[in-house]
């Protein structure tokens, strides 16, 4: 079961197929990118390396989406560990399954997200995915 978290953290609905924003959901990521929901100075730490700036991050996300076919992504143990009017931090565990180069693959890991409120618009400032 996919467990969404509210985005912005106080609630609301993103303009895409999910009821609420879910990290790494393809539709959510596309909506986030279209809405400039990734801060221009964001830094993402993925298992394949660090990515600094919106364009580098979007390129890394696109590469992942092109590599993993039929992906199913599940988030568990979501905790909002800090939240105010201008920032929010959450941590979670996630699992994924999909097909890479025609072979079934899967993985489990942890994530931390830092969101900031820039003039009323919530943006992802940092994401850290680790084993």
Q: Write down the pLDDT at residue 15.
A: 42
pTM metric for this prediction = 0.71
- Sorting pLDDT into bands at 50, 70 and 90, what band is 62? confident
Label the pairing between strands 87-100 and 103-118.
antiparallel
- The residue written with tokens 């909506």 in the block is 31
Is 21 part of any domain? no
CATH code for the domain of 113? 3.10.450.50
Q: Is residue 84 part of a domain?
A: yes
In a domain, residue 5? The reply is no
Sheet holding 121-130, edge to edge: 49-52, 38-46, 121-130, 103-118, 87-100, 69-83
Q: What is the pLDDT of residue 70?
A: 86
Residue-wise pLDDT for 21-59, tens only, equals 555 565 665 565 555 688 999 999 988 889 999 888 888
Q: Is 70 within the bounds of a domain?
A: yes
**Cα separation of the two ends of the chain:** 21
pLDDT digits (tens, 9 = 90+) for 78-121: 888 998 889 999 999 999 999 999 999 999 999 999 999 888 88
Tally of domains in the chain:
1
Write down the pLDDT at residue 26. 59
Domain of 118, in residue numbers = 26-130
- Asked if the model's pLDDT at residue 18 lies above 60, the reply is no
- Alpha helices by DSSP H, listed for the chain, are 26-34, 54-67
User: pLDDT value at position 119?
Assistant: 84
Residue 69 lies in a domain: yes
pLDDT recorded at residue 4:
36
In a domain, 13, yes or no: no
Which DSSP category does 49 fall into?
Answer: E
């Amino acid at each position: 079961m996919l467990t969404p978290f509210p985005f912005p953290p106080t609630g609301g609905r993103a303009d895409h197929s999910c009821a609420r924003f879910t990290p790494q959901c393809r539709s959510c990521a596309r909506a986030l990118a279209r809405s400039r929901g990734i801060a221009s100075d964001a830094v993402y730490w993925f298992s394949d390396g660090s990515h600094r700036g919106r364009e580098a991050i979007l390129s890394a996300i696109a590469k992942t989406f092109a590599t993993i076919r039929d992906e199913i992504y599940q988030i568990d143990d979501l905790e909002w560990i800090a939240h105010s009017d201008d920032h929010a931090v959450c941590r979670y565990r996630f699992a994924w399954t999909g097909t890479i180069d025609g072979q079934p693959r899967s993985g489990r890991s942890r994530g931390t997200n830092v969101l900031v409120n820039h003039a009323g618009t919530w943006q992802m400032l940092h994401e850290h995915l680790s084993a």
